[in-house]
Structure 1
């Protein structure tokens, strides 16, 4: 259970930080064009994605040497307390006030997006404390669900991982990357591969040094013979 939740948190955090990176790059590109003015849309989007990514940056930066689940629960408790006790900014600068508002919106989204993980941890802890019930009568087997097939992009990513050398990594404040020597694997595609259990990640390695990625038997079954 804990390993799966750590995997979900890592994927969610990587997605939010990568979205911030894209928004910042778009704003930088717009700012570099001296023939055009800055648009409120690009500025606001960069501010919003930065606010969304901030709690996830806190989570990733606090991981060193601690239990990731404990760090996650402590961060939720800390942010919840701050959200309740902190008053809104009342600066004379409209941009400062908007930045403050977006920050707390980002905190709310973080708490909302991870609330079900806390419920899952509590349910698992409660189940571990309850006595094992008597075995019930064996139900009729349900009809097997049809196996999901990968899309072309997902199949290409599986082929890249099968070729070897694929790693998940993160350097300092950069977003989490999935690096491959032979092609590009996008974050959204990789999230599907992990959700479908077509790939496995070696979490015994740190993100800084790179976490090797390999195909599972389920993922290998989709490759051409």
Structure 2
């Protein structure tokens, strides 16, 4: 039986919420045991797992009104905007700064984990396969989207430097390159979200998924 988008997303959500519940329970047990010191690593783990699980839980909550596809699309758009506009907190409270960092990294991982889910899975009944679409020509340079210098540098790095998305350990998504300058992770994820680049999901994340330009990304650099 072919899995649906709902089944896959609910399974992802259950995985992250289970980790959050386990971390919170361990922290609660530690805090209520007056015979031992507070283990600060448990606080960090509880904060990290809560930040990881939050966007998944929000999507399911939003889906009750709008449907899962629209809710997931809205969450991905909102998180992308936040990553582009939000800077690391400079509060005098170090805990607040750490929480902000965790939230931003959790948003990046959510975008990576849900990339292409809407294309790969569907909840509609199976239909006769549609005819293969005719190959679309690359957009003319004059029609390509405008990009800032920083965005163009990111695309150039993807084109020239062998950029990969890699997660050597769960929750530690990073960008690696074969050669040259390494672009910022949030910029690479944003380029993928815009359809200017694409990651190869046939390779496991722990090995490294190569990132390449789409025709739109190539056209932007050709302007």
> Under a length normalisation based on structure 2, what TM-score does the superposition of the two structures give?
0.53
* CA distance in structure 2 between the aligned counterparts of 1:17 and 1:11, rounded to whole angstroms: 10
**Structure 2 equivalent of residue 105 of structure 1:** 105
Q: Structure 2 matches for 1:1-225, cutoff 5 A?
A: 4-120=4-120, 131=131
**C-alpha distance in 2 between matches for 1:52 and 1:61:** 16
For structure 2, the residue ranges without an aligned partner over 5 or more in a row are 134-223
Larger Rg: 1
> Mean alpha-carbon deviation: is it higher for 110-119 or for 78-87?
110-119
For residues 90 and 132 of structure 2, the distance between their equivalents in structure 1, rounded to whole angstroms, comes to: 56
Q: Which TM-score applies when normalising by structure 1?
A: 0.52
Correspondence for 1:170: none
Q: CA deviation at 1:80?
A: 0.8
RMSD: 2.8
What is the alpha-carbon distance in structure 1 between the residues aligned to residue 82 and residue 92 of structure 2? 23
CA spacing shift, 1:42–1:86, aligned 2, 3 Å: same
Shift of 1:132: 5.4
Change (3 A) 1:11 1:51: same
CA distance in 2, matches of 1:56, 1:81: 17
**Stretches (4+) displaced over 3 A:** none
Q: Which runs of 5+ in 1 are unaligned?
A: 134-225
Distance 2:3 2:52 in 1: 24
> Aligned with 1:63: secondary structure?
helix
CA positional deviation for 1:20: 0.5
CA, structure 1 residues 101+2, in 2 after alignment: closer, same or farther (shift >3 Å)? farther
Offset at residue 61 of structure 1 (A) = 1.3
Q: What is the count of residue pairs matched by the alignment?
A: 130
- How far 1:28 sits from its partner (Å)? 0.2
